[in-house]
Amino acid sequence: MEMTTIAVSKEVKNKISEFGNKGETFSDILLKLYNSASERLLQDLLFDDKECVPVKDALERAKAKWQ
C-alpha cells in the first residue's frame, strides 16, 4: 500500500492517539475513527424522525381516507 504524510499539529496528534491502543498505527486509528463516523452518519440517517408521522396519526389518516 502506498503511504502518504499528513501534517497535523502536535495537539491534534496527541488527541488522535488517545483513540488508539498499544501497537496501533495512526493509519489504524484513523481508519477506526472513519468507520465509526460512517456508522454514526448511517445511524443518524436511518433514525431521522423529522418527517415521521406518529402511528396514531397515520392510522387516523388511513381510516379517514378509506372510509
**One-character DSSP codes across 2-64:** --------HHHHHHHHTT--TT--HHHHHHHHHHHHHHHHHHHHHT--TT---HHHHHHHHHH
Please report whether residue 51 resides in a domain.
yes
Dump pLDDT digits (tens) for 14-46.
999 999 999 999 999 999 999 999 999 999 888
Please check whether residue 2 lies inside any domain of the structure: no
Residue 25 three-state SS: coil
Contact assessment for residue 30 and residue 16, using Cβ atoms and an 8 Å cutoff: yes
0.85 surpassed by pTM: no
Q: What is the number of structural domains in the chain?
A: 1
Range of the domain at 22: 10-66
Q: Give a yes or no: residue 4 inside a domain.
A: no
Decide if 36 is inside a domain.
yes
Rounded Cα distance between 63 and 54, Å, is 14
Answer yes or no: is 60 within a domain.
yes
pLDDT confidence of residue 8 = 95
Residue 30 lies in a domain: yes
pLDDT score at 51: 81
